[in-house]
Chains A and B, each alone.
With several copies, the nearest count.
Chain A
């Protein structure tokens, strides 16, 4: 908590904003206006926010199918995101990508893959470009525990370590890949924690505590900017919603409702709110103001998105090649 008030309230605001967007999506999803497979990160907001708080506009991130949080935390355009969810021409991917394929090059977001693990080497390559050009840009790969099953993570970390690339490998361990618990896919700790810390700075932390994420990410980003090489941050968290779609669509029987409740009690936003209020660093009315601001922003984004034009069928061939 020994952070400036502005920083703390900013972290709170960013998490709240991501949460509100997703609850809005959840509430409207069954209207079928968003014909796109959404993967909500409700409960996991602390990770993108805590990490991206250290990033400059030109720093790179790479995201996943569960990418709304990363996109917003990095400063991605909200209206373009909501329009994309509505498959509109005004969407960040012009309606060609949908929820799983967000992009905003203006803020260093070069596109998210829905192939699990697919973004990890790409983020590594963005880091390589930064280093080759002698830039101080860092590159962050966000990925889940399912992606950590893929050999490409081992290969990418090895390459990043070998070249001391300015890359953060941020594992969002929410313990599930669809309905598959991590214990049915991995035994023991991730081996990367055991690497020589000088080669790979690694840490395992509470991904629902935004301050813990903020602190560790700060060290990792500083290390990367200093040219000392990559980091591996395992953030333990939990998705409170189902794997895909809205809450009403979650299949039952693959996880214990009691477990969900325990994690609900550890909501990253509620936890920070409690501490901020206790420390009198924020007031209820300030929070309400934030809520109003976000609600207005969302109202506008959704209104526009609904009115925005759809891609023309005749434009199907566009963008196959870059001229």
Chain B
């Protein structure tokens, strides 16, 4: 939709993407598209479905011309029947196909929850391993221009709670492609939540097939004073906060979990063991969400490391307002993360 177009801008210098100088630099949507291209090219069982995946715009550019490339059997538009089509994807996956189901917004997944949670997530377990559901569900969190309450929900907090689902939230072009390829190769249902703000990035993305392991976090920046676990586009915000604080002599360590389920608890605990201070930043609502789980995990398993209260930087517990002044109040980033860090050290 026009109101949700983004124009890519290169990272400012100091970007944390893998050696941004060398190699091929492409935009985030192109990185996702490249991932789709690779899996469609190399695995005949893979197909891509979703509303308007065949549209000129190509879902923010991520599916551009894939239908021309692979034909209408393997890349197809769907009716607005999210409930049934999630089940259709589950059925195709049971037969051994590898469906990739694209959704414009996570908000629409509420119509598909029964098939995703009651079926896809449980099928392997409920039948004692006799069947499996290699399914990838992709959706992109909206933000801005009055997207409002029904077109902007960051629902990772819900999906993180469901046994049987894997949950991925990339933060770099490199990971967006590598994790997508890993998700399609995975034999289980995997949810990938993208964020529109990531789409502004450009970054280093190798050609061909490569996988970023699911369940493995990464240290985006080393530091000793405070650990910041940040999710999705907030990794970049945290990175910029850290750069500014470094000037003030405060070295912040930034952990990007990349996958929220399974969560790389070890990388977080090791960092907190070093710093003793923890800030968790997530785009979702604060109460009952991702920041709650990560904080609880550390309060349970890393309590002795903690020198200060855990701080959570997350979305206010209200539906997303439409108006831009209220959007300004609702959304947050570098400044709020910086603030939280400073409160922990002072």
Residues of A within 8 A of B (CB): 35-37, 60, 62, 87-88, 91-101, 103-105, 110-111, 113-118, 120-130, 132, 139, 146-147, 149-152, 155-156, 158-159, 162, 177-180, 184-186, 242-245, 249-254, 310-323
Task: Tell me if B96 counts as interface (CB < 8 A to partner A).
Answer: yes
B51 x A180 contact (CB < 8 A): yes
Q: Which residue of A lies closest to B80 (CB)?
A: A149
B80 x A177 contact (CB < 8 A): yes
Give the chain A neighbours of B321 by CB distance below 8 A. 95-96, 311, 316
Give the chain A neighbours of B322 by CB distance below 8 A. 36, 87, 93, 95-98, 100-101
Give the chain B neighbours of A318 by CB distance below 8 A. 129
B132 x A322 contact (CB < 8 A): yes
Interface string of B307-327 (1 = CB under 8 A from A): 000000000111101111110
Query: 19 extra interchain contacts, Cβ-Cβ under 8 A, other than A95-B325, A180-B52?
Result: A87-B325, A91-B323, A98-B322, A100-B322, A120-B87, A121-B91, A124-B91, A125-B90, A130-B95, A150-B82, A156-B81, A178-B1, A186-B79, A243-B2, A310-B325, A319-B124, A320-B318, A321-B164, A321-B166
CA distance A315 to B329 in the complex (A): 9
Assuming the A-B contacts A105-B130, A152-B83, are A113 and B119 also in contact, with contact meaning beta carbons closer than 8 angstroms in the complex?
Answer: yes
A121 x B125 contact (CB < 8 A): no
CA distance A175 to B231 in the complex (A): 40
Give B121-172 interface residues, CB cut-off 8 Å to A.
123-132, 134, 145-151, 163-164, 166
CA distance A322 to B124 in the complex (A): 7
24 contacts between A and B (CB under 8 A): A36-B146, A62-B91, A92-B128, A93-B322, A95-B323, A96-B126, A97-B148, A100-B150, A101-B149, A110-B94, A111-B130, A111-B131, A113-B118, A115-B150, A118-B119, A118-B150, A132-B73, A155-B81, A155-B85, A179-B52, A313-B326, A316-B326, A320-B318, A321-B166
Give the chain B neighbours of A184 by CB distance below 8 A. 77, 79
B328 x A252 contact (CB < 8 A): no
A24 to chain B, nearest CB (A): 18
A316 x B318 contact (CB < 8 A): yes
A128 x B128 contact (CB < 8 A): no
B87 x A124 contact (CB < 8 A): yes
Assuming the A-B contacts A156-B84, A320-B163, are A122 and B146 also in contact, with contact meaning beta carbons closer than 8 angstroms in the complex?
Answer: no
Assuming the A-B contacts A87-B324, A128-B92, are A177 and B51 also in contact, with contact meaning beta carbons closer than 8 angstroms in the complex?
Answer: yes
Assuming the A-B contacts A96-B322, A149-B79, are A251 and B56 also in contact, with contact meaning beta carbons closer than 8 angstroms in the complex?
Answer: yes
Give the chain A neighbours of B52 by CB distance below 8 A. 178-180
Task: Tell me if B114 counts as interface (CB < 8 A to partner A).
Answer: yes
B114 to chain A, nearest CB (A): 6
CA distance A249 to B329 in the complex (A): 28
B267 to chain A, nearest CB (A): 20
A98 to chain B, nearest CB (A): 3
CA distance A167 to B70 in the complex (A): 25
Give the chain A neighbours of B151 by CB distance below 8 A. 37, 100, 114
B121 to chain A, nearest CB (A): 10
B225 to chain A, nearest CB (A): 31
Q: How many residues of B contact A (CB 8 A)?
A: 78
Q: Which residue of A lies closest to B53 (CB)?
A: A180
Q: Which residue of A lies closest to B84 (CB)?
A: A155
CA distance A155 to B81 in the complex (A): 6
Give the chain A neighbours of B198 by CB distance below 8 A. none
A313 x B187 contact (CB < 8 A): no
A81 to chain B, nearest CB (A): 13
CA distance A125 to B86 in the complex (A): 9
Give the chain A neighbours of B4 by CB distance below 8 A. 37
Interface string of B99-121 (1 = CB under 8 A from A): 10000000110010011001100
Assuming the A-B contacts A116-B80, A162-B79, A319-B124, are A98 and B148 also in contact, with contact meaning beta carbons closer than 8 angstroms in the complex?
Answer: yes
B126 x A97 contact (CB < 8 A): yes
B127 x A37 contact (CB < 8 A): no
B148 to chain A, nearest CB (A): 5
A89 to chain B, nearest CB (A): 8
Q: Which residue of A lies closest to B1 (CB)?
A: A244
B47 x A132 contact (CB < 8 A): yes
CA distance A237 to B80 in the complex (A): 19
CA distance A211 to B72 in the complex (A): 40
Give the chain B neighbours of A121 by CB distance below 8 A. 83-88, 90-91, 115
CA distance A147 to B111 in the complex (A): 13
CA distance A80 to B301 in the complex (A): 42
B55 x A251 contact (CB < 8 A): yes
Task: Tell me if B57 counts as interface (CB < 8 A to partner A).
Answer: yes
A37 x B145 contact (CB < 8 A): yes
A113 x B150 contact (CB < 8 A): yes
A149 x B81 contact (CB < 8 A): yes
B97 x A37 contact (CB < 8 A): no
CA distance A317 to B331 in the complex (A): 13
Give the chain B neighbours of A35 by CB distance below 8 A. 145-146, 323-324
Task: Tell me if B188 counts as interface (CB < 8 A to partner A).
Answer: yes
Give the chain B neighbours of A155 by CB distance below 8 A. 79, 81, 83-85
B316 x A124 contact (CB < 8 A): no
Give the chain A neighbours of B1 by CB distance below 8 A. 37, 178, 243-245
Give the chain B neighbours of A116 by CB distance below 8 A. 80
Task: Tell me if B294 counts as interface (CB < 8 A to partner A).
Answer: no
Give the chain A neighbours of B83 by CB distance below 8 A. 121, 151-152, 155
Most chain A beta-carbon neighbours within 10 Å: one of B1, B56, B166: B1
The answer, among A125, A126, A313, for a CB contact under 8 Å with B325, is A313
The answer, among A60, A97, A123, A252, for a CB contact under 8 Å with B127, is A97
A93 x B326 contact (CB < 8 A): no
Q: Which residue of A lies closest to B151 (CB)?
A: A114
Give the chain B neighbours of A98 by CB distance below 8 A. 146, 148, 322-323
